[in-house]
Amino acid sequence: MIFGPTAVAEAEDCILAHSLRGTGISFKKGRRLSAEDIISLQAAGIAEVIAARLEAEDVHEDAAATELAEALTGAGLTASASFTGRCNLMVAERGVLVAERARIDAFNLVDETITLATLAPYDLVEPRQMAATIKIIPFAVTRQALDASLAVARSGPPLLSVAPLAARRVGLVQTQLSVTKESVLDKTRQVMDQRLARLDCPATVERRCAHDSDAVAEELRLLAGEGCEILLMSGASAIVDRRDVLPSGLEAAGGSVTHFGMPVDPGNLILLGELQGRPVVGLPGCARSPKVNGFDWVLQRLVAGLAVTPQDVMRLGGGGLLKEIAARGLPRAEAVETQDGAPRAAKIAAVVLAAGQSRRMGKVNKLLAQVDGRPMVTHVLDALTASQAQPLAVVTGHDYTAVEAALPKRGFTLAHNPDYASGLSSSLRRGLAALPEDIDGVLVCLGDMPRVSPAVLNRLIAAFNPLEGRAICVPTWQGKRGNPVLFARRFFAEMQEIAGDTGARALIGEHADVVCEVPMDDDAVLLDVDTPEALEALGAPSA
């Protein structure tokens, strides 16, 4: 193709590169100039234009786009007419877009003049939706470049197609422990039925059993015998290993585990397997939520009749960070929002309860007792300041003048509780009220736990993920629960209603389904200094 300034007298059959307006003319770019156009241009006093002249080996942009569309388009897609070098591929039936990313890359690497842009491979697509667009960049391409691109397009099955959805019969096994609430299982089934309805499938065939491998195996065999085409397993406890209860149950039923884990978050702890030719999926905890997660990507492929191999799963990491994108639309109480489209970590605040009367300590105010040469309560503040928790609030009450004098001068909000004698809950309410509204959760810390380290606090924050069922994070040492405890924002209203001296720990039993126990490396989370003996055990004087 010859491109550049061209005398109007020699421009017949050339393609105009830029729009022209003048006396008696209004020509758009891309116009192929006719003999009459040349006369009009000369009459307007235009002697030269920027234009392209096709040579013998050139293929016009529209003809090239049409030829490529014929080679690229598979079942479930139709091609629009080509115009200005663009041809759009439109969805003809609802389903999953099948597109091989490596071949798309290979196609686009052939020549800069020929481009293909598609929706993400395996996206769920709707009729009349644009699935891809072919665009020829210049006004023409060489036959050589076009043939090279066609060779890639024809190197296998059509590069783009739509696998239609089918009304699959789906079986769901849910396991139970003694602490599992029926309401949690009911919600999981309801969410799953909603997912399936969006994929044009009937409601699940559900069975519940003990969290036991043999029980799981029996239910899987029964569901397979009832004609379920896809089998799902949801555990009372998350799958953490290929040898865990759910995968062991699958193998006991005669099936096999094909893959465990996924580079998609949420959705990491997913299990894939097979039983009697049927796909089996061990659900990650996030599948209990209706929000998009890695399981959705697997489910829609299975409903479309597409195999999901270990390699398919392992290639999902690019674009697999779903937990904090705005498109997921999480409820405010559960969300970790984005700022300017960029993901951010959960914003966890902390409340230090330092209002108690130290009755068991005797005459000494335990918060002011010297530990390693400093008042005990300052150790708690130091650990929080060095952690990822921000902002901080300290609630004082008994002996507040002395306690406040011992605290650092900055780095936290001070809240006084004149009603401290009514119990811990009143101080908790004061602390929550002192925090900003844009936090995602709060660490409730006791002022008499001087050995809790920043690492303990950060480990609790790292475990926090309400979407995956970790909305209350409790530290443990050798199976015993300790403090501090991290609560999601959704519990703040309930925390405000608590009365007496129990604090927020009552919520742990009431919401066992979202409690996450976080093992720690030492017993600091169990060590609150209430007595002279406990103080002496720290190597500090008791009086």
- Rounded to the nearest 10°, the torsion over CA 348, 351, 352, 357 is -160
73 neighbors 85 (Cβ within 8 angstroms): no
CATH number (domain holding residue 235): 3.40.980.10
Residues 478-509: tens digit of each pLDDT: 889 999 999 999 999 999 888 777 777 788 98
Residues 293-321: tens digit of each pLDDT: 999 999 999 999 999 999 999 999 998 99
Q: Is 335 within the bounds of a domain?
A: no
Residues 123 and 184 in one domain: no
Residues 184-208: tens digit of each pLDDT: 999 999 999 999 999 999 999 999 9
Q: Report cis status (omega within 30 of 0) of the bond before 484.
A: yes
Q: Is 436 within the bounds of a domain?
A: yes
Residues 206 and 274 in one domain: yes
Residues 186 and 290 in one domain: yes
Residues 286 and 198 in one domain: yes
Q: What's the confidence (pLDDT) of residue 83?
A: 85
Structure tokens at 119: 């929706």
Residues 373 and 318 in one domain: no
Residues 129 and 209 in one domain: no
Q: Which residue ranges of the chain lie beneath pLDDT 50?
A: 325-343, 543
* Cα–Cα distance list, 435 to 301, 404, 423, 454, 489 (Å): 45, 18, 20, 20, 11
CATH number (domain holding residue 44): 3.90.105.10
Give the Cα-Cα-Cα angle 37, 56, 11 (nearest 5 degrees).
20
Q: Is 339 within the bounds of a domain?
A: no
Residues 394 and 486 in one domain: yes
Q: What's the confidence (pLDDT) of residue 505?
A: 78
Structure tokens at 532: 């002279």
Domain count, the chain: 4
Cα–Cα dist 504/425, whole Å: 7
Q: Is 343 within the bounds of a domain?
A: no
Residues 265 and 294 in one domain: yes
Residues 446 and 484 in one domain: yes
Q: Is the dihedral of CA 492, 493, 499, 504 positive or negative?
A: negative
Residues 289 and 214 in one domain: yes
- Dihedral class, residue 99 (left if φ above 0, else alpha if ψ from -120 to 50, else beta): beta
Range of the domain at 37: 2-53
Q: Is 341 within the bounds of a domain?
A: no
Residues 159 and 174 in one domain: no
Q: Is 543 within the bounds of a domain?
A: no
